[in-house]
């Protein structure tokens, strides 16, 4: 950590039971943070508790009562929070608007948008108690690109982009940095969740591509949060080399001209 007493700093990571969230919790712990890991699947968090000494707490960002209980517990244990990683998020379905499913849209908006807003609001008093603090929002290339069948998800990630930029303005003048991390194709449980457990359909998304891993994205988060205090990484886009945009993907071996 550059110019920071990392061992005394608390990092909260939502959606920490798998994928990017789990990798980020491990990365931050390795950097010296005391990690508070939150997720719905508390049994999965026990692995982090054993591996990195994380404080693990149940958290469903879709439920305001769950967020409030989580933050009360954090506040009872620690004086402040230095890093909040708003990682919890999901995609549900891939239908065009005309065939869209209300339950899928509601799940994405409740998790990706309202969950992020409410979690940030609830943690702000603890972030403001830290000497320096940092909010990291997990966006997506879907926050500035669109694709057929992705209206619900891309709308939610466009909202994350708007929230991040708004926070940057609202918190200007306070020692709180705001970073939006926008990954492209990452092979986690993302597609498995999107396709309701259809493993073959999920695997097809990454066919012929070496996608990013959760650890790749976690490394980018680690880089952003360890910059000197006067440096704010506003946005960081990270994609596999085979992905040029949301719908231009080279599947197969890379070619030399």
- Percent of the chain having pLDDT more than 90? 85
Decide the pairing of beta strands 176-183 and 133-138: parallel
Task: Summarize pLDDT for 218-251 with one digit per residue, the tens.
Answer: 999 999 999 999 999 999 999 999 999 988 999 9
Measured CA distances, 28 to 64, 83, 106, 188 (Å) = 26, 10, 31, 19
β-sheet bridge partners, residue 85: 13, 136
pLDDT range class, residue 203, cuts 50, 70, 90: confident
Which residue ranges form the domains of the chain, and what is each CATH number? 6-249 (3.40.50.720)
Alpha helices in 56-211 (DSSP H): 64-77, 102-108, 115-129, 151-170, 190-194, 199-205
3-state secondary structure of 79: coil
3-class DSSP state of 136 = strand
pLDDT (0 to 100) of residue 3: 37
Q: Which of 153, 159, 167, 186 is catalytic?
A: 153
Taking phi over 0 as left and psi of -120 to 50 as alpha, with beta for the rest, 252 belongs to left
Using a cut of 0.75, tell me whether the model's pTM lies above it.
yes
CA-based torsion, 77, 132, 118, 222: positive or negative: negative
pLDDT at 124: 98
Active site residue 153: yes
**How many other C-beta atoms can be found within 10 angstroms of the C-beta atom of residue 40?**
16
């Amino acid at each position: 950590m550059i110019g920071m007493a990392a061992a005394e700093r608390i990092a909260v990571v939502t959606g920490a039971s798998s994928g990017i969230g789990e990798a980020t919790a491990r990365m931050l712990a390795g950097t010296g943070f005391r990690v508070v890991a939150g997720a719905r699947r508390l049994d999965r968090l026990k692995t982090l508790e054993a591996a990195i000494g994380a404080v693990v707490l149940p958290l469903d960002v879709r439920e305001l009562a769950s967020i409030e209980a989580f933050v009360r517990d954090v506040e009872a244990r620690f004086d402040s929070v230095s890093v909040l990683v708003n990682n919890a998020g999901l995609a549900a379905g891939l239908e065009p608007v005309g065939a869209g499913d209300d339950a899928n849209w509601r799940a994405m908006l409740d998790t990706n948008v309202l969950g992020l807003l409410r979690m940030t609001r609830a943690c702000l008093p603890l972030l403001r108690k830290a000497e320096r603090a940092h909010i990291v929002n997990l966006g997506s290339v879907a926050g500035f690109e669109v694709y057929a069948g992705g209206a619900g998800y891309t709308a939610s990630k466009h909202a994350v982009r708007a929230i991040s930029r708004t926070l940057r303005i609202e918190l200007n003048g306070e020692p709180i940095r705001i970073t939006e991390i926008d990954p492209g194709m990452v092979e986690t449980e993302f597609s498995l969740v999107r396709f309701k457990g259809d493993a073959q359909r999920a695997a097809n998304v990454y066919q012929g591509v070496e996608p990013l891993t959760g650890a790749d994205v976690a490394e980018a988060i680690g880089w952003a949060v360890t910059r000197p205090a006067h440096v704010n990484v506003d946005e960081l886009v990270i994609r596999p080399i085979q992905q040029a945009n949301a719908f231009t993907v080279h599947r197969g071996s890379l070619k030399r001209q």
